[in-house]
Amino acid sequence: MLVELMLIICGLVLLAGSLYLIPAMGKYLEKLAKFLGGFQAVIGVIAVIVAIWDMIDGSVGLGNVVLLIVGLILGVSILSALPAIGKYIAKLTKALGAFQTILGIIALIVGIWMLID
């Protein structure tokens, strides 16, 4: 349940600039995403921790992998300060940053799909 909620939150934060395009409730989702965007780095670090914790728990699935990737993108400002692997995380997220909107859509869809299932 935690993975699904984190996927939805991360998806909203990544799609903050595109949510206004949704006809009925886009402006409300955009306000929520902009509010959550202030906590982007913290949400990213929590997403990485939740994804790794769930993988250690024994369930490596699509949701965990997507959450890990999205968490790395969101938490790059904090995670890049890690001594041994910080510069590699920064390079990886710089490469994945071009696909931010696509990964946000994927995270949102996978999160909702896992929550319903």
Question: pLDDT for 60-117, tens place per residue?
Answer: 899 999 999 999 999 888 888 888 888 888 888 888 878 999 999 999 999 999 999 8
Distance CA 36, CA 58 (A): 30
Question: pLDDT for 26-44, tens place per residue?
Answer: 788 888 888 888 899 999 9
DSSP string, 28-40: HHHHHHHHHHTTH
Q: Which of 106, 114, 89 is nearest to 15 (CA)?
A: 106
Q: Nearest 5°: phi and psi at 4?
A: -65, -45
pTM (two decimals): 0.88
**Where do the domains of the chain lie?**
2-116
Distance CA 78, CA 45 (A): 8
80 with 94: CB under 8 angstroms? no
- Collapsed DSSP state (helix, strand, coil) of residue 60: coil
